[in-house]
Amino acid sequence: MLALEIVFWLCAALIVWTQAGYPLALAVAARARGGPPRAPAGTAPEPQQLPALSLVIAAHDEESVIAAKVLNARELDYPPELLEVIVACDGCTDATAERARAAGADLVLELPRGGKIRAQDAAVERARGELIAFSDANALWEPGAARALVAAFADPAVGYACGQVRFVQAAGRGGDNQEGLYWRYEMAVRELESRLSSITAGNGAIYATRRESYIVVDEIMGHDLSLPFNIVKRGQRAVYVPGARASEKMVPTIGGEFARKRRMMSHTWPILLRGGMLSPRGYPPGYALMIFSHRVLRYALPFLHLAVLAANIALVAGTDGGTRTLYLVTLALQVALLVAAAAAGSVRWRPLLVARYYVLTAASPAAGLWDWLRHGTEAAWEAAEGTR
């Protein structure tokens, strides 16, 4: 029984730590440090101080949104002579290239299908900017986003900066996806990481690197996860700039969100297991703890939950008295979470929807690992359902 109790309490503690203890510890550490935050506030430089910026938009069959995206880039509060808009068409079979040119893109690359990463690589090779920014075809930037993002690089130690993305429901869709709630939590954690050290992941909607900091990664290893930790390993900082804002449509259904996260996790496991994330070499000690707490444990959630559940069932069967009562209570809490998640399929009540979101997204790393081990991961990608 002792071994089972150790497994139960250790795994339960790790779940609580990654979900609540770690953010709380970051907040306490940030408060104790005091003084100005290390994260850039996003104050825009004067026009004469602005560097040349290339904005790369990788696109595969995005004819429905690409013109709006290019026009959005052209309306940014950034000197037109310093802003280069590049659309990298990854094996497009529709009118994406033609519509991008008509909308005013400076450079449109028509590439064979090789995946998002290779399309971005090709664009960076042709880019003229001192800084290279990246965005998704369906992500719209606020007018001051480019200036705010660029402001981060006034600090010579910064090699990577990502902005704040807000996920919005498509008009009239009223979906059951709770990604917006989760993302607000994630952005709060990311801001604390940035204040204390560096962020552990970015997002594809709005981010930038110095040209010399850009890293060519494996075609199945996305920038969101690969660039921040690799840039830290090279002695620079990866920061979050909340003043650089973008928005994009979220997947309207939780089923669609699970499929999206499952696909993302099939790209994440290669980064974790053979892409260098697990190697502490090059990490400052505090950042290594961040990677463990925010990344490794987060991806281990399905296995931690299964271990807690299995150990709990065995402990209920093998103990008596007050100890058994304690484990009956903990088992009841776990069953209640699963029942709530199941009930959300027919009862659209916010607490139930949150429970369902948690259970399915916590399970997605296991599903993504299964997909990767079974048939590998393709470099090519398709737009998530309902996001265009």
State how far the Cα of 134 lies from the Cα of 162, in Å rounded to an integer.
Answer: 9
| pLDDT, tens digit (0-9, with 9 covering 90-100), for 99-110 | 999 999 999 999
DSSP letter for each residue of 127-170: ---SEEEEE-TT-EE-TTHHHHHHHGGGSTTEEEEEEEEEEEPP
State how far the Cα of 119 lies from the Cα of 105, in Å rounded to an integer.
Answer: 16
Q: What is the pLDDT of residue 155?
A: 96
Q: What is the pLDDT of residue 207?
A: 98
Domains (range + CATH), the chain: 47-252 (3.90.550.10)
Q: Which residues pair with 190 in a beta bridge?
A: none
Q: What is the pLDDT of residue 119?
A: 97
Place of tokens 């480019």: 146
Are 66 and 87 a contacting pair, CB within 8 Å?
yes
Where are any strands of DSSP class E within the chain? 53-59, 83-90, 107-111, 131-135, 140-141, 158-168, 207-210, 237-249
Which of 204, 202, 164 lies closest to 180, judged by CA? Answer: 164
pLDDT along the chain (388 residues), means of 10: 94 98 96 68 63 97 97 97 98 96 98 96 98 97 97 97 87 65 92 96 97 95 95 97 94 86 94 94 96 98 98 95 94 97 88 93 97 89 67
Q: What is the pLDDT of residue 175?
A: 62
Considering the entire predicted model, what is its pTM?
0.91
Backbone φ and ψ for 167, nearest 5 degrees, come out as: -95, 130
